[in-house]
Amino acid sequence: MEQIQHNMYYHYGSKSLSAKIIRRLIVPVIILLVSAIALVSTGGDVASQLQSATSLDIVGFLAKFGIGIAVIVGLVQIIIAWLDYKNSSFMISENALYIRTGILNRSEISIPFRHINNVLQFQNVTDRILSICRCEVEIQSEEISTTTGQQVPEQVVLRDVDTALMLPLRETLLSHANTQRMIIANPTPENHQYTPFNNQG
């Protein structure tokens, strides 16, 4: 099991990159297949059923155009998936979890360990096939509920996390959160200066 090092930014794992690429290539691949089928059909039996050569030319042109568009869009989607992967990361410091996201609009949030209630893992069928999961970090916010009088929990979601990385990430976060809560509940007593008692009686 991979160990999470402190003060080091981690991406979400190699399976995360693969999943992002596969999801973004679904539409371009469909366009490519449809265009290829249309292109092949212009030279087969379907072509003989068309009314004129002009129709064949139009179908062939659209098919080739579709293939070109699919290739270009596919390449762009791969680049976007790679940028998304490279710009999504997390770091565990001594006191907090830091999460970086965004390609053009970069953002970073920090979650003190004392605010972390739980770390949950969710997977659907596709996630299981791709060996990824959705990580939800439940946070104890500063907002007070008017109905219960308790702090309202929130969630921070890390998407497409490699399942091989999820287990050490979850264990590390929960361990730090429990340690912080113990420190808060049982603070280290301050050093008291000893003053000798002088009995002058």
| pLDDT tens across the length of the chain (201 residues) | 568 888 999 999 999 999 999 999 999 999 888 888 877 776 544 444 444 556 666 777 778 888 889 999 999 999 999 999 999 999 999 899 999 998 888 888 889 998 999 999 999 999 999 999 999 999 886 654 455 555 556 889 999 999 999 999 999 999 999 988 788 777 765 444 444 444 444
Task: Indicate the pTM of the whole model.
Answer: 0.75
The pLDDT assigned to 148 comes to 55
Closest CA to 166 of 174, 155, 178: 174
Q: What is the pLDDT of residue 4?
A: 87
Domain count across the chain: 2
All residues at 6 or more sequence positions from 111 whose CB lies less than 8 Å from its CB, including other chains: 96, 97, 98, 99, 137, 139, 156
**What pLDDT, on the 0 to 100 scale, is given for residue 87?**
95
Residues 173 and 104 reside in one and the same domain: yes
User: Is 65 among the domain residues?
Assistant: yes
The answer to whether residue 2 sits within a structural domain is no
Considering the domain architecture, whether residues 53 and 106 belong to the same structural domain is answered as: no
The sign of the torsion formed by the CA atoms of 159, 100, 103, 141 equals: positive
Residue 120: domain span = 92-185
**Residue 191 domain flag:** no
pLDDT of residue 185: 76
- The answer on 113 and 79 residing in a single domain is no
CATH number of the domain to which 113 belongs? 2.30.29.30
Same domain, 110 and 154: yes
Judge contact between 141 and 151, C-beta under 8 A: yes
Q: What is the pLDDT of residue 2?
A: 66
> How much is the pLDDT for 147?
53
